[in-house]
Chain A
Amino acid sequence: QKEVEQDPGPLSVPEGAIVSLNCTYSNSAFQYFMWYRQYSRKGPELLMYTYSSGNKEDGRFTAQVDKSSKYISLFIRDSQPSDSATYLCAVIQGAQKLVFGQGTRLTINP
């Protein structure tokens, strides 16, 4: 079993829709959870990170962690074509090691 599982998609939604991206993880010891966004032919860039359970909001983006079910979510409200990218969830294992999900390719259609 992979440590972090993520549906690779692709996911295609109309502009303005609410997008839900999800990951599951296997190790209940993980405490830090991150979402990276990767545009085509670019490196991943950190979008949001959360510690332990709960929600964190940043503009149109909300990250949610449910440690009881080992579930990580990213919600995008009022989605824009510029949000079209691959979204990767990640957990921190040990001191600094990141373990990434497969990434979900998202397309927002105008």
Chain B
Amino acid sequence: DAGVIQSPRHEVTEMGQEVTLRCKPISGHDYLFWYRQTMMRGLELLIYFNNNVPIDDSGMPEDRFSAKMPNASFSTLKIQPSEPRDSAVYFCASGPGAQTFGSGTRLTVV
């Protein structure tokens, strides 16, 4: 298995633009998690899905953030409009149990 696959690896965008991050979980894993990591706040859970259904989105910072999981092999995290304070590394992970993380998307909003 190729593990959790995230794209793009790096994204630089201008403030106000829409950003879409993508994730392919490990086949057979029925939980999918989106995290954000910054120096100041560490690794924070944004939202997680079970069997493609959002279970807990209490970590989503505001309405500019949205996440979808249209099928078991694909999920997106969208930021619209993006702001400089959204700059971070965004990780996707899949489970159950011990979560396996992707390599992350490093987002820079200028």
Interface size for A (C-beta < 8 A) is 17
**In chain A, what residue has the closest Cβ to B99?**
A98
B100 at the A/B interface (Cβ < 8 Å)?
yes
B: contact size bracket = 20 to 34
Task: Report the minimum CB–CB distance from A32 to chain B (whole Å).
Answer: 9
Is B45 touching A44 in the complex (CB atoms < 8 A)? Answer: no
Interface string of A14-51 (1 = CB under 8 A from B): 00000000000000000000100000011111100100
Task: Report the minimum CB–CB distance from A107 to chain B (whole Å).
Answer: 17
Q: Which of B18-51 contact A (CB under 8 A)?
A: 31, 33, 42-43, 45, 48, 50
Is A42 touching B103 in the complex (CB atoms < 8 A)? Answer: yes
B98 at the A/B interface (Cβ < 8 Å)?
yes
On chain B, the residues within 8 Å of A99 by CB distance are: 45
Q: Please report whether the interface of chain B is mostly helix, strand, loop or mixed according to DSSP.
A: strand
Give the A-B pair count, Cβ closer than 8 A: 43
On chain B, the residues within 8 Å of A41 by CB distance are: 103-104, 106
Q: Report the Cα distance A3→B92, complex, angstroms.
A: 22
A-B contact pairs, 25 of them (CB 8 A): A41-B103, A41-B104, A41-B106, A42-B103, A43-B4, A43-B91, A43-B93, A43-B101, A43-B103, A43-B104, A44-B43, A44-B101, A45-B100, A45-B101, A46-B100, A88-B42, A88-B43, A96-B48, A96-B97, A97-B45, A97-B48, A97-B56, A98-B33, A99-B45, A103-B42
* B interface residues, Cβ below 8 angstroms from A: 4, 31, 33, 42-43, 45, 48, 50, 56, 91, 93, 95-104, 106
